[in-house]
Structure formats: structure tokens, C-alpha cells
Amino acid sequence: MHTTLNATAANLNNSFEIIALQFRADVDFAAQETAMANLNAVVQTAEGFKSRDYYYSEENGHWIEFIVWENEAAAKAASKAMMRNDEAIAVFCLVDEKTMLFSHYQHKGGIAA
């Protein structure tokens, strides 16, 4: 299952939500893929949502999510709303919380190819 890479649609004023995580050891890979895909329906309904990409490392079993929000206020409001959403909570319950890193970022520099 491959889809378009969305991250390049961002602009300098957007807020970037980056989440690194591993699922619990008892959650097989197929269930992990389903869980990550299920979050699409939840996230895309949030106000200020622009795009979401997620990546998996076969080397270490970690997932990275890269979500672009219109601005920091929208990103933070969506984060709070996710903690009250049953579909999102069902996915969060599968995650090994000790491995999770969750942060919002604003662009500060870069280089184009």
C-alpha cells in the first residue's frame, strides 16, 4: 500500500507534529499497519489539518508520523481532541508508551535539492 508523499505540501507557517513510537510486542505488524491507517480518518477531520505521512523502519520496528497543521494552535487543539476520541484511543492503547516521543515543531531552516 503506497500513497502520495504529502509532507512537501507544507509551508513555512505550518506547525509540524512529529511522533515516534513502537507498538506493544503483542501487536503484530498487520495490526500495526491497520492501526496507523485507522488514524487517518480521525486526524483528517480536525480543524487546521493539512496532511499526514507515516513511516516504518524495519531496522528497529519504530514508526514515525509526520503531520502538518495550518498553525500551532490547530495542532495543539487537535492533540487535545484526539485524547477524547474513541477511535484514536483504541490505537493509542496498542502503543508502547515508553517508546513514544510526541512534539510540535515550527520550521527554522533547511535546504532544497
| pLDDT confidence band for 3 (50 / 70 / 90) | low
Q: What is the pLDDT of residue 68?
A: 94
Helix residue ranges per DSSP H, 44-94: 72-82, 86-92
| pLDDT confidence band for 5 (50 / 70 / 90) | low
Domains of the chain: 15-106 (3.30.70.100)
Grid coordinates belonging to 65: 508520523
Among residues of the chain, what percentage have pLDDT more than 90?
A: 81
Rounded to an integer, the average pLDDT of 70-93 is: 95
Q: Is the pLDDT of residue 9 over 70?
A: no
For the entire predicted model, the pTM comes to: 0.86
Pick the residue with more confidence: 109 or 98?
98
Residues contacting 81, CB < 8 A, separation 6+: 46
